[in-house]
Amino acid sequence: MNSVSSYDAQVNFNHPVPTSVLETSRVKLIPFLPHVHGDEFHAKLSAHPELTQFLPCAFTPAIIQELLRDPESVLFAVIDKTKGDGDDAHGTWGFAGMIGLLHTSSQNLCTEIGPVICFPEFQRTFVTSNAVAILLRYCLNVPAHGGLGFRRVQWTAHPANVASIKTAERMGMKREGVLRWTWVLPLGVEGMQVPPERGQGAGRDSVLLAAYWDDWENGGREHVDKIVDRQS
């Protein structure tokens, strides 16, 4: 392979990423590196287009690299630790999907979990709930306990993506409402139609959910802990 660009070899996130705390007994998150995880990831997306049917844009290598350049975003490879029998720093065994943080604000102490992509063979297991739990702990725990001390972690979903909405609610997030006309979709993607004078591309609403620091300190952490400890 040719030389690896800086955003392909290191994390550019504007907050520290302590790998020692980004795991449970069965799942861990490691930085997503296109030169390590990219081929398998895109092969899965090609074989299972339903994985991205609710995303507002085509999840191409260019989009991933754009996110990796963005200091307000970070992407992780989700690793099912139960599928490996050795120590693989890059997690090429047990590679179960991707999860990340978007729109992270140091000023407002908030972020958004996304995208959340779980490969079919790992769906309906503990993998997604554990991955989300790891990020909730990382974001909402105070720095003294290995977290960022954020006050808000949000989650947005296509209104028709019932599974995504249920996942967020199961993890203790509260539904705040529907954000109307949040996305202009790529040409050819179905959505809400607009007249020609409103530009090209259909539109899309988003359901907004969130978790908050005060709920986290008053039972939210324990709720997530129970989910993580529950057997699949």
Residue with tokens 């092969």: 43
Note the pLDDT tens digit of each residue in 87-109: 555 556 799 999 999 999 999 99
Note the pLDDT tens digit of each residue in 146-186: 999 999 999 999 999 999 999 999 999 999 999 999 999 99
Whether residue 81 has pLDDT greater than 90: yes
**Contact indicator for 139, 148 with CB cutoff of 8 Å:** yes
Instruction: Determine the residue type at 115.
Output: P
| Confidence bin at 67 (pLDDT 50/70/90) | very high
pLDDT score of 29: 96
| Confidence bin at 7 (pLDDT 50/70/90) | very low
| Confidence bin at 1 (pLDDT 50/70/90) | very low
Higher pLDDT, 85 or 160: 160
Alpha-carbon torsion 30, 59, 95, 231, what sign?
positive
For residue 1 the two structure tokens come to 């392979």
User: What is the pTM assigned to this prediction?
Assistant: 0.92
Residue with tokens 């977290």: 147
Note the pLDDT tens digit of each residue in 121-155: 999 999 999 999 999 999 999 999 999 999 999 99
| Confidence bin at 66 (pLDDT 50/70/90) | very high
